[in-house]
Amino acid sequence: MSRWVSTMVWLLVLVAFAALGSITDDERLMTLAIQTFIFAALASSWNVLGGFAGQVSLGHAAFFGLGALITRELWLGEMALPLAIVIALAVTAAVAAAVGLPMLRFRGIYFSVGTLALGVAVWITAGNVWPGISSLPADALREYEFTGPYYVALGVVAVVVAVSMWLKRSKLGLGMMAVREDEEAASATGVSALAYKMIAFVISAVLAALAGAAFAFFSVSYYPQFPFSVVWTFEAITIVFVGGVGTIVGPLVGSVFFVVGRDMLSSTFPEIQVLTFGVLFIVVVLLLPGGFVEAGQRLFKLVSRGGADQKAKTGIRPGEREGKEKT
């Protein structure tokens, strides 16, 4: 598929979801859609660092929570939402740069464990500093509608996908993938592994903060420490692996599977829905090691190969039958 065709497909999908938000008033559908957008954005942000650069961070929720906290506090303090989001992203970028420089000097499991320790520390600290509940004012609660959060979440996931697509095709993204495949070989060819990992770390953190801002705008009330929970990190990683690591579509497909599957199981098997969902995810990962995207690609190749084999058996080349019929 050419780049132009791919871009047109993405734009049509975006227009379709934008139209859906204006024609439906089903609150359950809107809630599921918003949750899917937020998870898709969060998973895609982790995919930039873990899928493109090959750095498995287990403390990703710290940046998601930071974006949610700053946006929420400034927005409820009567600052315009766009300005609050911009400030949240700027602060997150600065924090990620300061944290990433020492963290990225570790490799492999040491980097993962270090980020996990950092994420847990930030989670506990947030719970101690902000122990109360963050709730919308009574006036805002009475006027609350799903349309605003829906379009904000849709815009956020569109931005995250656009950045991911640009990275996938850019020289910067190719450098990240070179580091992912073989850091020593990349360094030997003149690629600064630390610099590329650092850029991926900051971009990933900023996109996670953007997803956190959408969560803060959508949620009526929650404990400020909740977005910092490491559960958000593991859910994002699960979504990426189920959908397809290092792909653009993978986190989107995985988020749909995650949100819709969790909702169906919670209504069908409320007592054991967590256990059932966990087993289901394990089965999917074992049977589809490359995620849904790789499974779809294999199925497409199988169908295409079957069509080619059928033509070979008939002994008629493509277009030859039409020529004989005209004759």
Read off the pLDDT of residues 132-182 as tens digits, 9 standing for 90 and up.
899 988 888 888 889 999 999 999 999 999 999 999 989 999 999 999 998
The yes-or-no verdict on residue 327 having pLDDT over 60 is: no
- Mean pLDDT for the chain? 88
Domain boundaries, the chain: 3-289, 292-327
In the prediction, which pLDDT does 286 show?
80
Q: What angle do CA 35, 157, 1 make, to 5 degrees?
A: 125
Residue 222 is inside which H or E element, if any?
strand 221-222
The yes-or-no verdict on residue 3 having pLDDT over 90 is: no
In the prediction, which pLDDT does 73 show?
95
In the prediction, which pLDDT does 324 show?
47
- Cβ neighbours around 173 below 10 Å, total: 21
Q: Which of 90-94, 181-185, 227-231 has the lowest mean pLDDT?
A: 181-185
Mean pLDDT value of segment 11-28: 90
> In degrees to the nearest 10, what's the CA dihedral of 118, 161, 68, 270?
-90
- What is each CA distance from 297 to 88, 120, 150, 231, 252, in whole angstroms? 38, 38, 31, 30, 16
In the prediction, which pLDDT does 198 show?
96
Calculate what percentage of the chain has a pLDDT beyond 90: 61
Report d(CA 183, CA 259) in Å as an integer. Answer: 35
* Contact between 176 and 200 (Cβ < 8 Å): yes
Report d(CA 70, CA 86) in Å as an integer. Answer: 10
In the prediction, which pLDDT does 326 show?
46
Mean pLDDT value of segment 313-322: 53
Give the 3-state secondary structure of residue 77. coil
In the prediction, which pLDDT does 188 show?
86
Q: Could you report the per-residue pLDDT of 149-160, keeping only the tens digit for each?
A: 999 999 999 999
Q: Which of 221-225, 279-283, 317-321 has the lowest mean pLDDT?
A: 317-321
pTM for the predicted model, two decimal places: 0.88
246: left (phi over 0), alpha (psi -120 to 50) or beta: left
Q: Which of 225-229, 294-298, 320-324 has the lowest mean pLDDT?
A: 320-324
Calculate what percentage of the chain has a pLDDT beyond 70: 90
Q: Span 3-289: which CATH code? A: 1.10.3470
- What is each CA distance from 213 to 232, 258, 308, in whole angstroms? 14, 21, 49
Q: Could you report the per-residue pLDDT of 193-243, keeping only the tens digit for each?
A: 999 999 999 999 999 999 999 999 999 999 999 999 999 999 999 899 989
Report d(CA 70, CA 34) in Å as an integer. Answer: 20
Sequence letter at residue 238: T
The yes-or-no verdict on residue 183 having pLDDT over 70 is: yes
In the prediction, which pLDDT does 322 show?
47
The yes-or-no verdict on residue 272 having pLDDT over 50 is: yes
State the residue for tokens 């819709």.
Answer: 260
With bands split at pLDDT 50, 70 and 90, how would you rate the model's confidence at 126? Answer: very high
Q: Which sign, positive or negative, has the C-alpha torsion 309, 311, 315, 317?
A: negative
In the prediction, which pLDDT does 39 show?
97
